[in-house]
Protein backbone atom coordinates (compact mmCIF):
# COMPACT_ATOMS: atom_id res chain seq x y z
CA UNK A 1 0.00 0.00 0.00
CA UNK A 2 1.49 3.31 -1.08
CA UNK A 3 1.96 6.10 1.46
CA UNK A 4 0.56 9.46 0.49
CA UNK A 5 1.88 12.76 1.88
CA UNK A 6 0.55 16.16 0.95
CA UNK A 7 3.35 18.44 -0.21
CA UNK A 8 1.38 21.54 -1.17
CA UNK A 9 -2.24 22.51 -0.68
CA UNK A 10 -4.07 25.04 -2.84
CA UNK A 11 -2.94 27.97 -0.70
CA UNK A 12 0.71 26.92 -0.94
CA UNK A 13 0.43 26.37 -4.70
CA UNK A 14 -1.08 29.82 -5.17
CA UNK A 15 1.63 31.37 -2.94
CA UNK A 16 4.43 29.59 -4.81
CA UNK A 17 3.08 30.67 -8.22
CA UNK A 18 2.75 34.27 -6.99
CA UNK A 19 6.38 34.27 -5.89
CA UNK A 20 7.49 32.65 -9.17
CA UNK A 21 5.59 35.29 -11.17
CA UNK A 22 7.34 38.00 -9.20
CA UNK A 23 10.73 36.39 -9.82
CA UNK A 24 10.00 36.08 -13.56
CA UNK A 25 9.17 39.78 -13.63
CA UNK A 26 12.29 40.73 -11.67
CA UNK A 27 14.47 38.69 -14.00
CA UNK A 28 12.91 39.98 -17.22
CA UNK A 29 12.23 43.68 -16.57
CA UNK A 30 9.14 44.90 -18.41
CA UNK A 31 8.61 41.42 -19.93
CA UNK A 32 7.82 42.82 -23.40
CA UNK A 33 9.24 39.83 -25.24
CA UNK A 34 8.06 37.21 -22.77
CA UNK A 35 6.27 34.03 -23.89
CA UNK A 36 5.16 31.31 -21.44
CA UNK A 37 5.23 27.77 -22.86
CA UNK A 38 3.48 25.14 -20.78
CA UNK A 39 4.80 21.60 -21.19
CA UNK A 40 1.81 19.28 -21.79
CA UNK A 41 -0.16 18.61 -19.74
CA UNK A 42 0.05 19.93 -16.15
CA UNK A 43 2.62 22.54 -17.23
CA UNK A 44 -0.02 24.13 -19.44
CA UNK A 45 -2.36 24.74 -16.50
CA UNK A 46 0.50 26.21 -14.47
CA UNK A 47 1.63 28.42 -17.39
CA UNK A 48 -1.89 29.83 -17.68
CA UNK A 49 -2.01 30.57 -13.95
CA UNK A 50 1.38 32.29 -14.09
CA UNK A 51 0.24 34.31 -17.11
CA UNK A 52 -2.85 35.52 -15.23
CA UNK A 53 -0.66 36.67 -12.32
CA UNK A 54 1.77 38.44 -14.66
CA UNK A 55 -1.06 40.06 -16.62
CA UNK A 56 -2.46 41.52 -13.40
CA UNK A 57 0.93 43.06 -12.61
CA UNK A 58 1.77 44.21 -16.13
CA UNK A 59 -1.70 45.32 -17.19
CA UNK A 60 -1.43 43.58 -20.57
CA UNK A 61 -1.79 40.07 -21.95
CA UNK A 62 1.11 37.62 -21.77
CA UNK A 63 1.19 35.04 -24.59
CA UNK A 64 0.86 31.41 -23.49
CA UNK A 65 1.66 28.42 -25.68
CA UNK A 66 1.54 24.67 -25.20
CA UNK A 67 4.39 22.34 -26.01
CA UNK A 68 4.12 18.58 -26.46
CA UNK A 69 7.41 16.76 -26.05
CA UNK A 70 6.27 13.15 -26.60
CA UNK A 71 7.82 12.92 -30.07
CA UNK A 72 11.15 14.24 -28.79
CA UNK A 73 11.55 11.90 -25.83
CA UNK A 74 14.61 9.64 -25.81
CA UNK A 75 12.84 6.71 -24.14
CA UNK A 76 10.07 6.13 -26.67
CA UNK A 77 10.78 2.45 -27.18
CA UNK A 78 10.96 1.75 -23.44
CA UNK A 79 7.40 2.97 -22.90
CA UNK A 80 3.97 2.16 -24.11
CA UNK A 81 3.30 4.73 -26.81
CA UNK A 82 2.71 7.96 -24.92
CA UNK A 83 -0.19 10.21 -25.82
CA UNK A 84 0.54 13.09 -28.12
CA UNK A 85 -1.13 16.36 -27.23
CA UNK A 86 -1.39 19.51 -29.32
CA UNK A 87 1.45 21.97 -29.54
CA UNK A 88 0.46 25.59 -29.95
CA UNK A 89 3.00 28.35 -30.40
CA UNK A 90 1.61 31.87 -29.95
CA UNK A 91 3.47 33.61 -32.80
CA UNK A 92 7.12 33.54 -33.78
CA UNK A 93 9.37 32.82 -30.80
CA UNK A 94 12.55 33.93 -32.55
CA UNK A 95 14.18 36.65 -30.45
CA UNK A 96 11.71 36.15 -27.59
CA UNK A 97 12.34 35.18 -23.98
CA UNK A 98 10.60 31.84 -23.50
CA UNK A 99 9.78 30.56 -20.04
CA UNK A 100 9.16 26.81 -20.17
CA UNK A 101 6.70 25.86 -17.45
CA UNK A 102 6.44 22.31 -16.13
CA UNK A 103 4.96 20.71 -13.06
CA UNK A 104 7.83 18.53 -11.81
CA UNK A 105 11.55 18.59 -12.52
CA UNK A 106 13.03 15.10 -12.06
CA UNK A 107 15.59 13.49 -14.40
CA UNK A 108 15.64 16.54 -16.70
CA UNK A 109 14.82 14.45 -19.76
CA UNK A 110 11.45 16.09 -20.34
CA UNK A 111 13.13 19.50 -20.22
CA UNK A 112 15.76 18.34 -22.71
CA UNK A 113 13.00 17.10 -25.01
CA UNK A 114 11.17 20.41 -24.55
CA UNK A 115 14.29 22.37 -25.54
CA UNK A 116 14.61 20.22 -28.67
CA UNK A 117 10.91 20.67 -29.50
CA UNK A 118 11.17 24.40 -28.97
CA UNK A 119 14.10 24.59 -31.40
CA UNK A 120 11.79 23.40 -34.19
CA UNK A 121 9.79 26.59 -33.90
CA UNK A 122 12.51 29.22 -33.88
CA UNK A 123 15.52 30.52 -32.02
CA UNK A 124 14.46 32.04 -28.74
CA UNK A 125 16.76 34.77 -27.39
CA UNK A 126 16.73 33.15 -23.98
CA UNK A 127 14.99 30.13 -22.48
CA UNK A 128 14.22 29.91 -18.78
CA UNK A 129 12.65 27.07 -16.82
CA UNK A 130 9.92 27.35 -14.20
CA UNK A 131 8.75 24.27 -12.25
CA UNK A 132 6.32 23.95 -9.40
CA UNK A 133 8.26 21.08 -7.77
CA UNK A 134 11.95 20.20 -8.07
CA UNK A 135 12.36 16.67 -6.70
CA UNK A 136 16.04 16.13 -7.58
CA UNK A 137 17.65 13.03 -9.21
CA UNK A 138 18.85 14.84 -12.31
CA UNK A 139 20.32 12.70 -15.11
CA UNK A 140 21.24 15.71 -17.25
CA UNK A 141 22.92 19.05 -16.50
CA UNK A 142 19.65 20.97 -16.24
CA UNK A 143 18.43 23.29 -13.48
CA UNK A 144 15.35 25.40 -13.04
CA UNK A 145 15.40 29.21 -12.90
CA UNK A 146 12.16 29.46 -10.93
CA UNK A 147 11.11 26.77 -8.43
CA UNK A 148 7.89 26.62 -6.42
CA UNK A 149 9.16 24.05 -3.92
CA UNK A 150 12.25 21.87 -3.56
CA UNK A 151 11.33 18.41 -2.28
CA UNK A 152 13.80 15.69 -1.31
CA UNK A 153 12.51 12.37 -2.72
CA UNK A 154 13.57 8.76 -3.20
CA UNK A 155 13.94 7.70 -6.87
CA UNK A 156 10.93 5.36 -6.64
CA UNK A 157 8.64 8.08 -5.26
CA UNK A 158 5.99 9.61 -7.44
CA UNK A 159 4.77 13.19 -7.40
CA UNK A 160 1.09 13.49 -8.11
CA UNK A 161 -0.14 16.85 -9.29
CA UNK A 162 -3.87 17.50 -8.89
CA UNK A 163 -4.61 20.77 -10.58
CA UNK A 164 -8.29 21.35 -10.92
CA UNK A 165 -9.46 24.35 -12.87
CA UNK A 166 -13.11 23.66 -12.10
CA UNK A 167 -13.20 23.95 -8.34
CA UNK A 168 -11.97 20.43 -7.49
CA UNK A 169 -8.90 19.55 -5.44
CA UNK A 170 -5.79 21.60 -6.03
CA UNK A 171 -2.83 19.91 -4.35
CA UNK A 172 0.53 18.21 -4.79
CA UNK A 173 1.07 14.78 -3.22
CA UNK A 174 4.15 12.64 -2.69
CA UNK A 175 3.32 8.97 -3.27
CA UNK A 176 5.78 6.58 -1.65
CA UNK A 177 5.56 2.90 -2.71
Partner 1 sequence: MTWTRKHLLDIESLSAEEIQHILATARAFKAVGERAIKKVPALRGKTVVNLFVEPSTRTRTSFELSAIRLSADVINFTAEASSLKKGETLKDTARNLEALNTDIIIIRHSAAGAPHFLARVLDASVVNAGDGAHEHPTQALLDAFTMLEKKGRIAGLKVTILGDILYSRVARSNIWLLTKLGAEVTLCGPSTLVPRQFERMGCRVTYHLEEAIRDADVLNLLRIQHERQRKTMFPGTGEYAALFGLNSARLKLTKPDALIMHPGPINRGVEIESWIADSDRSVILDQVNNGLAVRMAVLYLINGGQGPQELGGSN
- State which residue, 34 or 114, has the beta carbon closest to partner 1: 114
- State which residue, 6 or 84, has the beta carbon closest to partner 1: 84
- State which residue, 26 or 78, has the beta carbon closest to partner 1: 78
Instruction: Judge whether 37 and 66 are in contact, CB under 8 Å.
Output: yes
Instruction: Judge whether 7 and 157 are in contact, CB under 8 Å.
Output: no
Q: Considering the rule CB under 8 A, would residue 105 count as an interface residue with partner 1?
A: yes
Q: Considering the rule CB under 8 A, would residue 154 count as an interface residue with partner 1?
A: no
- Give the count of residues interacting with partner 1 (CB under 8 A): 33
Instruction: Judge whether 69 and 110 are in contact, CB under 8 Å.
Output: yes
Q: Considering the rule CB under 8 A, would residue 170 count as an interface residue with partner 1?
A: no
Q: Give me Rg for the CA atoms of the chain.
A: 16
Task: Give least dist CB 161 to partner 1, A.
Answer: 10
Return all residues near 144 (Cβ < 8 A) that are at least 6 apart: 105, 129, 130, 131, 134
Q: Considering the rule CB under 8 A, would residue 68 count as an interface residue with partner 1?
A: yes
Return all residues near 36 (Cβ < 8 A) that are at least 6 apart: 47, 50, 51, 54, 62, 63, 64, 65, 98, 99, 101
- State which residue, 27 or 85, has the beta carbon closest to partner 1: 85
Instruction: Judge whether 39 and 67 are in contact, CB under 8 Å.
Output: yes
Q: Considering the rule CB under 8 A, would residue 128 count as an interface residue with partner 1?
A: no
Return all residues near 33 (Cβ < 8 A) that are at least 6 apart: 95, 96, 97, 125
Q: Considering the rule CB under 8 A, would residue 52 count as an interface residue with partner 1?
A: no
- Contact with partner 1 (CB under 8 A) among 52, 121, 126, 173: 121
Q: Considering the rule CB under 8 A, would residue 37 count as an interface residue with partner 1?
A: no
Interface contacts to partner 1, rule CB under 8 A: 68, 70-72, 75-87, 102-107, 109-111, 116, 120-121, 135, 157-159
Amino acid sequence: MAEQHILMDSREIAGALKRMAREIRERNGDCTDLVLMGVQRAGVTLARRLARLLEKELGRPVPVGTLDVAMHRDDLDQRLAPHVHPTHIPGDITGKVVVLVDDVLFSGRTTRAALDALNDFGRARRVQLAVLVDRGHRELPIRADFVGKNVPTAPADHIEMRLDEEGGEDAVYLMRP
